[in-house]
């Protein structure tokens, strides 16, 4: 089989493992044109963004439409500690093993990280140790500007909402109509293309003489009559800024005291980000952006971006962002970086278009490995029930990443707190804690097998793990029905440390025989779908607040009940309570509110309080980030 071996590089690994940024800076990336050449991409298939990044154009998927896809693998995890268990690192390490050591065509497809966590408490998301995407600093910072495009589009829509309310409040129906659709010199009226969609939505036939529209038709067309209390669209920025969690807008002297309370979200929480991740083409993105619902009229009708006349402009701002970014791993295997939706309120997966392009490029016998956010109860569930529904793609294997550290926590170990030294229990052998915590791993395995995929457990090994503890995890994984369970050292050794994982994943893909199954059908009620997901967590029932009941009734009346569900829940427990570790059961899942991302295509119930604007800690990561003035290289990025 033809390989991509001409781009593979050998790593010289050091022990102890240096910092992530030092490792990344020690390797000179190949020109991205070399990576593109190895994929048989011509210069017409991509646009360069500097030496080491390129945007792969959607035309590649069109040209390869009749080609056979490769194997499709999703990487998820057990319920994590606040420190993370290394899903991104495992995703990259697995791909390095497949490409650099097992001679397979392989693509890594991962999300673009937000600058908020990068400068805040979490750090970057390029992987870690000797399993990273490079250039690591460019990956974690501006990349090719997709998040900036999302920010601009999101805030243009926010400005349009408040401006429309302002102008409707100060003008008659006739004056509003004349300004929206001005008269031409010949007496005809100018209608933008997007306005014709609104006439169609309202069921209004435009007469040959546009001046023959009735006063009622003019009023219905021109006056959106947005209820300010119903607006769900927030402004965004890609910075952790807790002081923007609640703000008041419209306090300027020229806004005629039309102020209202609102807030900022972080950019990756924007519905436009979720749209980017779930779109399948430029035309599909235009349609999704236009049907995003920003609030309701005072009569209870949903108001969309196209009602505001802005769907086309949003698409123009996003026209380059729809193309995934080509990068490389430390060992020279190709990577597509695209989209980065929140894994709580959104579905937490990279883009469909990146996966589709990659699957065509690797072809039969090749592998595309993509990552789902947080534990399998959030990321993998949404990958299967939302992303796979819209993409039509079927995974052959799911990798669940586990660590001894996290399993000890689930077995009753002390609290793990980011920025605080680990308790002695996590640094010394305690087989009993690990055995007790394996109930969490078992629950994730059984939940993931429901979808009909083979499950391989990757145990991300730390230097403090004992062989007895690792053996317990492998035994528990196999007993729970895993296809295989493998100890991995890719952080310390790169792809070489994940060879056994690569072999297990290949075998799992080749022996996959079941048809894919979803957790619920789309034609049941919103409540029935919510219960199906809650039951998979271990809940015996669901409790709805009055607000949640009201929203479910409204979305059902508006015709949105056939959408999939995207549960907004803590990542630190199967339940709604982050302190409930292991595999809790018998609880009632409380639904505080229910909201909708109609353009993206899902309903999202809120389980507890979900923050969409993180805050900075006392000592953020930015203290360590600087630039070497002699070399121009970034230092301190983690």
pLDDT digits (tens, 9 = 90+) for 299-325: 999 999 999 999 999 999 999 999 999
Task: Collect all residues with Cβ–Cβ distance below 8 Å to 413 and sequence separation of at least 6.
Answer: 423, 425, 426, 430, 433, 437
* pLDDT at 4 exceeding the cut of 90: no
Check residues 7 and 456 and name the one with the higher pLDDT: 456
Tally the C-alpha atoms within 13 A of residue 164's C-alpha that lie toward its C-beta: 27
* pLDDT at 594 exceeding the cut of 80: yes
Taking the domains of the chain in order of start, what are their residue ranges?
21-144+320-414+421-511, 147-312, 530-606
Does an H or E element contain 251, and which?
Answer: none
| Structural contact between residues 626 and 635, judged by C-beta atoms closer than 8 angstroms | yes
Check residues 616 and 494 and name the one with the higher pLDDT: 494
Q: Which two tokens stand for residue 538?
A: 């271990």
* Spatial distance between the Cα atoms of 484 and 407, rounded to a whole number of angstroms: 18
Q: Binning pLDDT at 50, 70 and 90, where does residue 122 land? A: low
| Structural contact between residues 249 and 123, judged by C-beta atoms closer than 8 angstroms | no
pLDDT of the residue at 630:
87
* Spatial distance between the Cα atoms of 382 and 167, rounded to a whole number of angstroms: 40
Work out the average pLDDT over 41-66.
Answer: 95
User: What Å distances lie between residue 360 and 3, 56, 354, 366, 397, CA to CA?
Assistant: 15, 13, 10, 9, 18
Q: Is 331 helix (H, G, I), strand (E, B) or coil?
A: coil
pLDDT of the residue at 93:
98
Q: Is 243 helix (H, G, I), strand (E, B) or coil?
A: helix
pLDDT of the residue at 133:
96
| Structural contact between residues 79 and 440, judged by C-beta atoms closer than 8 angstroms | yes
Check residues 37 and 418 and name the one with the higher pLDDT: 37
Work out the average pLDDT over 150-178.
Answer: 95
Work out the average pLDDT over 260-264.
Answer: 90
- CB-count burial class (<10 Å; 0-12, 13-18, 19+) for 535: middle
- Beta strands 260-262; 247-249: pairing state: antiparallel
pLDDT of the residue at 560:
97
In the chain, what's the furthest Cα-to-Cα distance? 86
pLDDT of the residue at 534:
98
| Structural contact between residues 366 and 336, judged by C-beta atoms closer than 8 angstroms | no
* Spatial distance between the Cα atoms of 552 and 476, rounded to a whole number of angstroms: 40
* pLDDT at 130 exceeding the cut of 70: yes
Number of residues written out for the chain: 638
Give the residue from 270, 259, 271, 263 showing the smallest Cα distance to 242: 263
The rounded mean pLDDT for the chain is 93
Give the residue from 598, 601, 591, 538 showing the smallest Cα distance to 567: 591
Quick one: CA dihedral 280, 284, 290, 293, positive or negative? negative
pLDDT of the residue at 532:
98
Give the best-scoring range by mean pLDDT among 111-115, 422-426, 529-533. Answer: 529-533
C-alpha R_g of the chain: 25
* Spatial distance between the Cα atoms of 248 and 257, rounded to a whole number of angstroms: 11
Task: Collect all residues with Cβ–Cβ distance below 8 Å to 221 and sequence separation of at least 6.
Answer: 177, 195, 198, 199, 202, 204, 213
Q: Binning pLDDT at 50, 70 and 90, where does residue 1 land? A: very low
Task: Collect all residues with Cβ–Cβ distance below 8 Å to 497 and sequence separation of at least 6.
Answer: 93, 97, 130, 131, 488, 489, 490, 491
pLDDT digits (tens, 9 = 90+) for 463-478: 999 999 999 999 999 9
Angle at the Cα of 338 (from 335 to 343), degrees rounded to 5?
A: 115
pLDDT digits (tens, 9 = 90+) for 378-415: 999 999 999 999 999 999 999 999 999 999 999 999 99
DSSP string, 345-406: SS--B--HHHHHHHHHHH-TT-EEEEEBSSSTTTHHHHIIIIIHHHH----SEEEEEE-HHH
Work out the average pLDDT over 172-191.
Answer: 89
- Beta strands 539-544; 587-591: pairing state: parallel
| Structural contact between residues 583 and 574, judged by C-beta atoms closer than 8 angstroms | yes
Q: Binning pLDDT at 50, 70 and 90, where does residue 153 land? A: very high
> Domain 530-606 adopts which CATH fold?
Formyltetrahydrofolate synthetase; domain 3 (3.10.410)
Does an H or E element contain 621, and which?
Answer: none
Q: Is 606 helix (H, G, I), strand (E, B) or coil?
A: strand
User: What totals of helices (H) and strands (E) does the chain contain, helices first?
Assistant: 23, 24
Q: Which two tokens stand for residue 633?
A: 């290289």
Work out the average pLDDT over 39-60.
Answer: 96
* Spatial distance between the Cα atoms of 370 and 87, rounded to a whole number of angstroms: 10
Give the residue from 150, 155, 158 showing the smallest Cα distance to 295: 158
Give the residue from 362, 336, 361, 356 showing the smallest Cα distance to 32: 336
**Lowest mean per-residue pLDDT among 86-100, 157-171, 224-238, 416-430:** 416-430
Q: What is the pTM of this model?
A: 0.94
* Spatial distance between the Cα atoms of 553 and 545, rounded to a whole number of angstroms: 12
Check residue 593 and report its DSSP letter. Answer: E
* Spatial distance between the Cα atoms of 634 and 622, rounded to a whole number of angstroms: 12
Check residue 451 and report its DSSP letter. Answer: T
SS (H, E, C) 412-446: CCCCCCCCCCCCHHHCCCCHHHHHHHHHHHHHHHH
pLDDT of the residue at 126:
81
Q: Is 245 helix (H, G, I), strand (E, B) or coil?
A: coil
Percent of the chain with pLDDT over 90: 80
Q: Is 569 helix (H, G, I), strand (E, B) or coil?
A: coil
pLDDT digits (tens, 9 = 90+) for 66-97: 999 999 999 999 999 988 899 999 999 999 99
pLDDT of the residue at 374:
87
* Spatial distance between the Cα atoms of 90 and 281, rounded to a whole number of angstroms: 29
Task: Collect all residues with Cβ–Cβ distance below 8 Å to 253 and sequence separation of at least 6.
Answer: none
Q: What class is the 21-144+320-414+421-511 domain?
A: alpha beta
* Spatial distance between the Cα atoms of 370 and 76, rounded to a whole number of angstroms: 9
Q: What class is the 147-312 domain?
A: alpha beta
């Amino acid at each position: 089989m033809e390989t991509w071996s001409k781009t593979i590089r050998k790593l010289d690994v050091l022990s102890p493992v240096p910092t992530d940024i030092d490792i990344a800076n020690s390797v000179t990336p190949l020109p991205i044109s070399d990576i593109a050449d190895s994929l048989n991409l011509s210069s017409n298939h991509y646009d360069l963004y500097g030496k080491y990044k390129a945007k792969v154009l959607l035309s590649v998927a069109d040209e390869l439409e009749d080609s056979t896809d490769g194997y499709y693998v999703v990487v998820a995890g057990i319920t994590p500690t606040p420190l993370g268990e290394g899903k991104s690192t495992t995703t990259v390490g697995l791909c390095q093993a497949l490409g650099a050591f097992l001679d397979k065509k392989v693509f890594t497809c991962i999300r673009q990280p937000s600058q908020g966590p990068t400068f805040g408490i979490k750090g970057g998301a390029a992987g870690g140790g000797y399993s990273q995407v490079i250039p690591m600093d460019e990956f974690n910072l501006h990349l090719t500007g997709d998040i900036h495009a999302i920010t601009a589009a999101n805030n243009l829509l926010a400005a349009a909402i408040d401006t429309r309310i302002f102008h409707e409040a100060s003008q008659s129906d006739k004056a509003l109509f004349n300004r929206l659709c001005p008269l031409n010199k010949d007496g005809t009226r100018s209608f933008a293309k997007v306005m014709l969609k609104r006439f169609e939505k309202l069921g209004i036939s435009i007469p040959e003489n546009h001046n023959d529209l009735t006063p009622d038709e003019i009023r219905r067309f021109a006056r959106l009559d947005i209820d300010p209390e119903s607006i769900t669209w927030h402004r965004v920025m890609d910075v952790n800024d807790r002081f923007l969690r609640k703000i008041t807008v419209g306090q300027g002297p020229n806004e005629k005291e039309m102020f209202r309370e609102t807030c900022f979200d972080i950019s990756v929480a924007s519905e436009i980000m979720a749209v980017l991740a779930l779109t399948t083409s430029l035309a599909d993105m235009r349609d999704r952006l236009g049907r995003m619902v920003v609030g309701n009229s005072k009569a209870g009708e949903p108001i969309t971006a196209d009602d505001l006349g802005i769907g086309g402009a949003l698409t123009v701002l996003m026209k380059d962002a729809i193309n995934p970014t080509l990068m490389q791993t430390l060992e020279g295997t190709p990577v597509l970086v695209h989209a980065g939706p929140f894994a709580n309120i959104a579905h937490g997966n990279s883009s469909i278009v990146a996966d589709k392009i990659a699957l065509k490029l690797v072809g039969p016998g090749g592998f595309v490995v993509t990552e789902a956010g947080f534990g399998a109860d959030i990321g993998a569930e949404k990958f299967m029930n939302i992303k796979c529904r819209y993409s039509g793609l079927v995974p052959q294997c799911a990798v669940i990443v586990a660590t001894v550290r996290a399993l000890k926590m689930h077995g009753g170990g002390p609290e793990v707190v980011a920025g605080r030294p680990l308790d002695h229990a996590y640094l010394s052998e305690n087989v009993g804690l690990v055995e007790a915590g394996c109930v969490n791993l078992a629950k994730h395995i059984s939940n993931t097998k429901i979808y009909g995929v083979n499950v391989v457990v990757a145990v991300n090994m730390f230097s403090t793990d004992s062989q007895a503890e690792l053996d317990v995890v492998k035994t528990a994984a196999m007993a729970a029905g895993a296809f295989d369970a493998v100890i991995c050292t890719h952080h310390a050794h790169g792809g070489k440390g994940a060879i056994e994982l690569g072999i297990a994943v290949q075998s799992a893909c080749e022996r996959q025989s079941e048809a894919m199954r979803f957790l619920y059908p789309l034609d049941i009620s919103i409540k029935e779908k919510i219960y199906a997901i809650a039951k998979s967590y271990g809940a015996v029932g669901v409790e709805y607040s009055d607000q949640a009941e009201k929203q479910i009734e409204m979305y059902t009346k508006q015709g949105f009940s056939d959408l999939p569900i995207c549960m907004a829940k803590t990542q630190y427990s199967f339940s709604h309570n982050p302190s409930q570790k292991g595999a809790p059961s018998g609880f009632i899942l409380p639904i505080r509110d229910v909201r909708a991302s109609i353009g993206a295509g899902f309903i999202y119930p809120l389980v507890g309080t979900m923050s969409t604007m993180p805050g900075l800690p006392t000592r953020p990561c930015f203290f360590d980030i600087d630039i070497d003035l002699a070399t121009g290289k970034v230092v301190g990025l983690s």
